[in-house]
Each structure stands twice: as structure tokens, then as C-alpha cells.
Amino acid sequence: ARLVEARDLHVQQAALTGESMPAEKEARPDDAATPLNERRDMVFLGTSVVSGTATAVVVATGRKTSFGDIAARLAARAPETEFERGIRQFSLLIMRTVFFLVLFIVVARIALHRGALESLLFAVALAVGLTPEFLPMITTVTLGKAAVRMAAAKVIVKRLPAIENLGSIDVLCSDKTGTLTAGTMSLDRSVDAGGASATRPHTLAHVNSRFETGIKSPLDEAILASPAADAESGKKVDEIPFDFERRRSSIVVEQGAGERLLITKGAPEGVLAIATSYEAAGGTQPLDEAARARACATYETLSETGLRVLAIAWRKVDTREAYDTKDERDLVLAGFLAFSDPVLPDAAATVAALARDGVSVKIVTGDNERVARHVCGQVGLDLTTVVLGDAIDSMTDTALEHVAEQATLFARVSPAQKNRILLALKRRSHVVGFLGDGINDAPSLHAADVGISVASAVDVARDAADIILLERSLGVLHTGILEGRKAFGNVTKYVLMGTSSNFGNMFSMAAVSLFLRFLPMLPVQILLNNLLYDLSQVTIPTDNVDDTYVREPQRWNVRTIRNFMLLIGPVSSLYDFVTFFALLHVFHASEGLFQTGWFVESLATQTLVIFVIRTA
């Protein structure tokens, strides 16, 4: 809705932007180029009024709203993940190989005047022998055991395939608030006008916040959560409430000797404009141009480090029944309070550990760039390239792909822009995980290869996520990624063993069947051989994993599987050809002895591949 009139209106729109502080709104039209989520003359479905009143004209409803756009994206089919793409490509490889093998054997044997039905049954048995039919069972058991281990490490898996995707992640995109930071405001420091540490501003602010009526802002809660000396004395006389034009609030209190004090807190620009003096070590000093410049430099420096700043000022007032905004004049500047959303204790160490293990972290946030820069600096992320939301709107998809790979921080981005960033990275063949906990994160959680949320997240985010962290810690996520790589390693063992050894065995049968006047192995023996060989691999899910699988992201690589199959398969066939020679020319084997002798040798040599394949 577009605001027509507004008075002291503050709206909590964290659901759309991730911004923890309520947004100030006014009826004055914004520039049309301003991103929708930053418009101060608009209010949105899914947000809530914290204070003030307004009249607005509805301009969009349902799916046409920002909130509706999120719902529409969640209802859409999720893009193909790395795991789904790998399984599809592997299935196509097996299908093409089986098709060629069956066709070749049937055509070749019929051309050599062998029985058509016998040739067809033999070819179909070979096709079944080449198919890794235990793959669904091996995969499910492996992922199931990994999910149990991850649950013990406080990582809950909602969808088993997400474990393999988790092990393949090479880019982790994270919303800042609530994932790298605690998601709550805390008092960082209390300083005087020159920036030196001082308790007086905090004491005065504590009195103001304690007596202030209405809904407490997150900054008020942070002030009151931090005890202040001599802040409990005094009695409230009157209040001059906050409004958008002044951007400050004042409380009049009466202290012990009947002395009344007006205490003002608010935006530094507004408070400095009505201050005429400041507190210094030698007492109250005039706020001349030089002193005012120093005070401005103090709060600007604090703001540039990502802190939110309030100015605190006071003056003595006469005794009377009521006070109004005209009394907010000739104030004495006590100093400034700076607030931060603290970074989680293990965030920096875990970001470094993820980088060491091949996962680059990118921050994608709806918050402003100053705050985001501060947080990224604290966790050790590269700030060479910072991309803002309005810049993303002017980029083509191709340009965004290049920028998304290079940049580490994306600030002031909308849910739709987050989606574009994730899809751009996926088009560059990255496996992308997204960590978020707000409604605005839900489309990105849906679009990522792995959507990761926390137990304290909103319901929509938890529903859209594949992985839920029971503890708000990147360290827990890192543990989950390593478990995903271990699971991937064990599944890969089965795939490589099945394709290479089975292919070699089937290759040998196909080759020798063209020269023998009888079948080298009966169809029932082929199927039994395949079953017993697969049974020997059911312990793979409990196997240890080589360190090479854990230290870097693991991905389905059909080219590697195909090359391994074409190399190791024929190598294993060499043992078969030696066996054929021995059976025919040393033992002068009959049909039954040949088939039985090769059945035993084939099963033994296939099973030995297990010991070859356990490490890279």
C-alpha cells in the first residue's frame, strides 16, 4: 500500500528485508528508482506496524505483493540439484552402455548363426548384470546412517538426498542476521562527545528508556538489558514522545532535591542540531564549530564500523505541569551510545575452516552495506567487492554470473535478487548452499542445491529448508558438510565398483560368447554372480572414508566414472581371458566345467576389487 498520511509510523519488515530494526515510514513519495523494499512511502503485506498511525491506498494484493511473490516462488518447482543431476547423468551412462551391449550381442550372435532366443536371454542377463541394482539400497542406507550421525551433531536432515548435496557444496550463501550474528541488538559502547569511554550517556539513556511509554524498540531493550549506575533514582514527570520529524524522544524526571531534568535520546543529527554545549572532563563546554565537528566525526566513525548510534543530551528545566517540543533546546550533549548485532563466537573460526575445506562463504543480506561490511570484517571475509541490490537490477544474467563469482558481500538485496544470485552461481557450475532463517529467505532456501535453516527460524523458512541446525552455529554446519562428504565417498565406492567390475565381467562374456559354441556362463549364473557380488558390498555404508574425500567438495563426475569403467573394466577382463585359456587348453574343460570354473573365478576377482577401491 502507498502511504497518503503518516504520523510517527514505524513498521517491522524483517520478514521481507531481514533488517532487525523497525523501518521509519513517511507519506512523502520516494524516487521511482528506489528498490521496493527500501521505499519509505510504501507498506507491505506480511509486515507489522510497531508504532504510529497512517492512511494508505492499497496498490497490490495477493500474488502481486512482495509477500505474494515469495509464496509464488515457493510453489514453483525447485531447480535441479547437483545430486539429481548426477543421478540422471549416471543413469543415462548405464542405459546407453546396456543398450549398446544388448544390441551388439544379439546382432553378433544371430549373424554367427547362434540361437536367437538363447542369445536374447543371454544378452538380457548381461544387461541385468551390468545394472547396479543395489544402488538405491546402498544409497539409502549410507545416507540414513549419515543422517543419524548428523543428528547426534545437532544437524537434522529433512530430505536424505540433501546429505550428498551438502557434501558437494563449494559456495555457501548466508543471510547475515541470525546466522553469522545473534539477531539481537546489544549495547556495544558508551562514549562522550570526543569518543572517549564514559558511563554518563548510558546512565541518562537508561532513565529515558525506563520511563518511556509504548512499545520498546530493540535499542531500548538493549539499553535496559545493560545495568547502569545511578539510573534507578528519580520520578517521571512528563514525556515528549518520539515522532518522525524530530527523530528523538524526551523524558522529564524529578530528582532528589526537586531538580527536574529533561533527558533526550535520538538520531545524532537531530540531537546535535539543538545542543549548545557538551560534557567534557573539565565540566560543561560550549559546543562551538570545532567541538561540533569533533562530535560529528565521533558518531560517523562509529556508524562506519557498522554500529547504530544514538545521541544522548540533557538540560535542567523549570518546574511546571507539562512540557512540549519547545523545551527541547539548548541541550548539553552527554555523548553517544553505539549498538551492534554481535557476531556469533565461533563464526570467524568456522568461516576459516570452511575456506580451508573448499567452501567459500558469501553474505547475501537485506541489511545496509555499512552494517554488513562490519560483520564481514569481523568474520574475516574479503571485502574487495561489495554489490548492492540496485546494481543487481541493472545487470544482465550473464553479467551477474561473473559478478556473483567475484563478490563476497551482497547488501540491500530483495528476496528476488537473492534468488537471481543463487541461480547465477548454479549456472556457473557451483553447488550452492543457502543459510537463512527469515520469511524473506524462503525462496532462496527453495532454489539452492541445499537449503539450510535453524531451529529458531520462522515456520516458512524451516519448511523450505532441507537441513535444520539445532544449534545456531556455523561449526555445526561444517560438521554436517564433512558428514555429507563421507556419505558421498561411500556411495561413490559402490558406483565405481559396480560399473568397473561388472563392465569388465560383461565385456569378457560378450567377447568370448562370439568364439565359443556354447554360452560362457548361463543366464542364471550371471544373475547369481551379480547378486552375490552386490551382497559383498552391503558393508560399504559402514566403511571409513579416505581423507581425500573429506578435504574438498565432492561432486558427481560422470566422466570420471566412465573413464574408470573403461580402464579398470578391461583390466579385470585380463584375468578372465587368462582363466579362459587355462580352462580350455590346460583343463580341456567341458561346457559345464567351463561355466562353473569361470563363475568361481569371476566372483573371486570381482570381490577383490573392494580392497582396491576403498581409497583413492
Segment 579-597 mean pLDDT: 93
% of the chain with per-residue pLDDT over 90: 32
Predicted pLDDT at 590: 94
DSSP string, 569-587: HHHHHHHHHHHHHIIIIIS
As a whole number of angstroms, the distance between CA 217 and CA 308 comes to 13
As a whole number of angstroms, the distance between CA 91 and CA 556 comes to 12
Predicted pLDDT at 244: 63
From 214-223, 352-361, 430-439, the region with the lowest mean pLDDT: 214-223
Predicted pLDDT at 178: 66
Going 552 to 157 to 414 to 18, the CA torsion angle's sign is: negative
Q: In this predicted model, what pLDDT tens digit does every residue of 299-318 receive, in sequence order?
A: 988 887 778 899 999 999 99
* Average pLDDT of the residues of the chain: 86
Q: pLDDT class for 585, splitting at 50, 70, 90?
A: very high
Predicted pLDDT at 592: 94
Top pLDDT among 78 and 280 is at 280
Is residue 430 predicted with pLDDT exceeding 90? Answer: yes
Task: Read off the C-alpha cell for 444.
Answer: 532462496
Q: In this predicted model, what pLDDT tens digit does every residue of 520-553 receive, in sequence order?
A: 888 899 889 888 888 888 888 888 888 877 888 8
Segment 270-274 mean pLDDT: 93
Q: In this predicted model, what pLDDT tens digit does every residue of 440-470 receive, in sequence order?
A: 788 888 889 999 988 888 788 888 899 999 9
Q: pLDDT class for 589, splitting at 50, 70, 90?
A: very high
Segment 562-582 mean pLDDT: 88
Q: CA separation (Å) from 448 to 162, 166, 412, 445, 595?
A: 11, 11, 20, 6, 52
Q: In this predicted model, what pLDDT tens digit does every residue of 155-181 receive, in sequence order?
A: 999 988 888 889 899 999 987 776 678
As a whole number of angstroms, the distance between CA 606 and CA 598 comes to 12
As a whole number of angstroms, the distance between CA 498 and CA 494 comes to 6
Is residue 20 predicted with pLDDT exceeding 70? Answer: no
Segment 281-299 mean pLDDT: 90
Predicted pLDDT at 215: 67
Segment 425-445 mean pLDDT: 87
Residue 350 three-state SS? helix
Predicted pLDDT at 148: 92
Predicted pLDDT at 189: 92
Catalytic-role residue among 175, 220, 441, 576: 175
Segment 322-329 mean pLDDT: 90
CB 341 within 8 A of CB 177: yes
Predicted pLDDT at 18: 64
C-alpha 225: how far from its chain's center?
31
> Has 466 been annotated as catalytic?
no
